[in-house]
Amino acid sequence: MSNQRISGQRKSGNTAAASAAALVAQAVPLHQSGRLAEADALYRQALAAQPRQPDALHLLGMIACQTGRFTDAADLIGQAVSARRDVPDYHANLAYALQALGRSAEAERAARNALRLRRPFPEAANTLGNALNAQGKTEDAADAYRAALRARPDYAEAEGNLGAVLRSLGRSAEAEPLLRHAVAANPSLLEARAALGLTLLDLGQSEQGEAALRAVLAHRPDHAPAALALAGSLQRRGVDALPAHRRHLMLEPADAEGWNAQGLALQCADRIASAGDAFARALRLDPTMAEAMTNLGTIRRLQGRAVESADLQRRALDLRPGYAAAHTNLALALQDLGDETAAEQAFTHALEADPAQALARFNRAILRLRQGRLAEGWKDYAVRFESGRLKPKRPFNVPEWDGGDLAGRRLLLWAEQGLGDELMFGALLPEALARFPGTIVECEPRLVPLFQRSFPGTTVREPTRRPADADCHLGFGSLPRLLWRTAPVPPPPAGWLKPDPMRTAAWRSRLDALGPGLKIGIAWTSQRLTTERRHSYTELEDWAALLRLRGLHAVSLQYDGREAEIAAIEERLGVCLHHWPDLDQIADLEGTAALMANLDLVITVASSAGEMAAALGTPVWRLGRRDWTQLGTAVRPWFPSMRCIQPDAGDGVKDAIQKAVQLLTRLSSGEL
């Protein structure tokens, strides 16, 4: 009896195992065809027949993976592993579920167990790479992805993952072909496509990178990293990135990095108060975010709150000692507070932390030049194009001249930055052309006729793409480093810019027709007003006292017209501010120069109008605070006919207008 009972029990156990195995076998085709509910029911029947049936546990876990229930998946597949530890697929799929749950260290162990049982095993190697990458072990992750690809060269997912990790290691040139191939092989790999978009942005291929990111967002509108990267690229290109930033923050409202990025976009759009709010929100979300701290400090400086700005920069440095950007921004705040010694030290600390911090070097150049330390200042000024503060440097097919012996080589001098800077640095052209015979000059197309007349015998032309007649090049802004190394600098010739004699005579007749009295040109503002620049400019209303002076004919040199503004002030004050509809002061610089050459005086804020008038030799009174272009002097050495009228400490530029009125009054009464 006893033996029969044992035999009977054995027969019952074998029957249960066979029944469970049969149910699993019946379920697998259903599972493979996507009929998951039916397969699930059969797997559960198998477990009812044999509670620790490993295949049923494993495959139920796989259904849980497929339906996004990764906690259940890890539990079920973990039970399968406990029931039978020698099946590599169990370990590999457990690793996959654990990694999906973010349990990367456990996923790494499970993947390594799979690879110990089977090698090669490309799927396990790919999961191992994911687990290592999530733990920051990027080099090891790359090795795991390579192992997966050696085992299965057509494994697009592993190839995409390898490309993404190489990109994170700063090896975007290596990553690009891998990512392109992976996406071409499997267009549904959205993470690889997103990584490709980022890689193309890294390589400067903005349009292609943005297209890749837009393709990701078309399939996954909730892909927050793609939305953030797209916004960043648009912002770098100067395109309105705010809609893209808003999209990202709708997806990730608690993303401190996203709020910081939106703050930068708002700052670029000169929406300073809103930018400050965005940076402050980033800090509420992440009080240790040094980037948002220094950016908020910059906003406070632009808002005139320099003490608060300096405090925020110091707090950013407490969060991240050696943070070059915060040192730079601290220096700017200290400058505003009048402590130039501490500011220079902060710029230098920034460069010690990061010698490539071009913005710090550029700002240190401006500080040193303002102090008249020319050799040091011009040396730092060489990084101006890398600083992000100026227009990009023109590309050339010939080398930049280092100032050495030209030895028969022909030099090309080219204009840089805006019209005002072109005329300021152009003051050194007479000396440069005398010292370097045969030099070619490329300038703003509107200035070509004026420069041709001013420099007879010199090849003067508008910018060319690939000059074939030059051996080396140099921007106008590099001339002072060669010619003005020490103070005092040799004054340029007064009136080096020559207007058209016939047009000058015609404008003389038109101005004479206004009647007796001083003909005084004025320019009061800029076409490009930002929060940072606004303090250097005025409103036409601020000039009322000057416009009311008797014996004076005011002439508008406001190149952007401002007809409505002029009409309003004329009606309110009962004065005439002369301007001529047939003269386009933006397009027709020849006509503008001829007008300016006939004026008795030009009074202007920092403006290209003042630079042109002074280059023509017309007397100019420039209203504004002391700046670096004075090179440590009381004048602007570029222009012998220019006088600087500065507001008193604590006053604005508009207060300098009253000083000009007083001088004009004394001039008209014969006191001067």
Q: What is the mean pLDDT of residues 4-32?
A: 70
Q: What is the pLDDT of residue 670?
A: 63
Task: Tell me which of 532 and 81 has the higher pLDDT.
Answer: 81
Instruction: Give the CATH number of domain 251-387.
Output: 1.25.40.10
- CA–CA dist 267, 427 (Å, integer): 34
Q: What is the pLDDT of residue 672?
A: 55
Q: Which of 627, 649, 647, 648 is nearest to 637 (CA)?
A: 627
Whether 625 contacts 512, CB under 8 Å: no
- Report whether pLDDT(127) > 60: yes
Give the helix/strand (H/E) hosting 17: helix 2-32
Q: What is the pLDDT of residue 1?
A: 29
Q: Phi/psi of residue 610, each to 5°?
A: -65, -40
pLDDT tens-digit profile of 229-288? Answer: 898 888 888 788 888 888 889 888 999 999 999 999 999 889 999 999 999 999 999 999
Q: What is the mean pLDDT of residues 424-439?
A: 96
Q: How confident is the model at residue 625 (pLDDT cuts 50, 70, 90)?
A: very high
- CA–CA dist 565, 513 (Å, integer): 25
- Angle (nearest 5°) at CA 542 between 536 and 546: 115
Instruction: For residue 229, count CB atoms less than 10 angstroms from its CB and return exposed for 0-12, middle for 13-18, buried for 19 or more.
Output: buried
Of 124-138, 380-394, 467-481, 597-611, the poorest mean pLDDT is in: 380-394
pLDDT tens-digit profile of 547-602? Answer: 999 889 999 999 987 899 999 999 999 999 999 999 999 999 999 999 999 999 99
Of 17-21, 172-176, 343-347, the poorest mean pLDDT is in: 17-21
- CA–CA dist 160, 175 (Å, integer): 9
Residues with Cβ < 8 Å from 289, sequence gap 6 or more? 256, 257, 260, 282, 283, 319
Q: How confident is the model at residue 391 (pLDDT cuts 50, 70, 90)?
A: confident
Q: What is the pLDDT of residue 16?
A: 85
Q: What is the mean pLDDT of residues 648-668?
A: 90
User: Coil, strand, or helix at residue 162?
Assistant: helix
Q: Which of 586, 589, 584 is nearest to 447 (CA)?
A: 589
Q: What is the mean pLDDT of residues 89-107?
A: 96
- Report whether pLDDT(363) > 70: yes
Q: What is the mean pLDDT of residues 395-410?
A: 92
Its pTM stands at: 0.77
Task: Tell me which of 413 and 533 has the higher pLDDT.
Answer: 413
Length of the chain: 672
CATH class in words for 512-668: alpha beta
Q: What is the pLDDT of residue 58?
A: 95
Q: What percent of the chain has pLDDT over 90?
A: 84
- Report whether pLDDT(5) > 60: no
Residue ranges of alpha helices (H) inside 516-652 are 531-534, 544-547, 563-573, 589-597, 608-615
Give the helix/strand (H/E) hosting 230: helix 224-236
Kindly indicate whether the domain formed by 20-236 is annotated with CATH number 3.10.450.40: no
Q: Which of 345, 428, 404 is nearest to 629 (CA)?
A: 428
pLDDT tens-digit profile of 149-169? Answer: 999 999 999 999 999 999 999
- Report whether pLDDT(10) > 70: no
Q: What is the mean pLDDT of residues 416-434?
A: 96
- Report whether pLDDT(362) > 70: yes
Helices 256-268 and 224-236, packing angle to 10 deg: 20
Q: What is the pLDDT of residue 671?
A: 60
Q: What is the pLDDT of residue 499?
A: 98
- CA–CA dist 605, 280 (Å, integer): 35
Average pLDDT over all residues of the chain? 93
- CA–CA dist 614, 596 (Å, integer): 9
In DSSP terms, 603 is beta-bridged to: 522, 621
- Report whether pLDDT(4) > 70: no
In DSSP terms, 522 is beta-bridged to: 556, 603
Q: How confident is the model at residue 178 (pLDDT cuts 50, 70, 90)?
A: very high
Q: What is the mean pLDDT of residues 338-359?
A: 96
- CA–CA dist 222, 466 (Å, integer): 45
Q: What is the pLDDT of residue 56?
A: 93
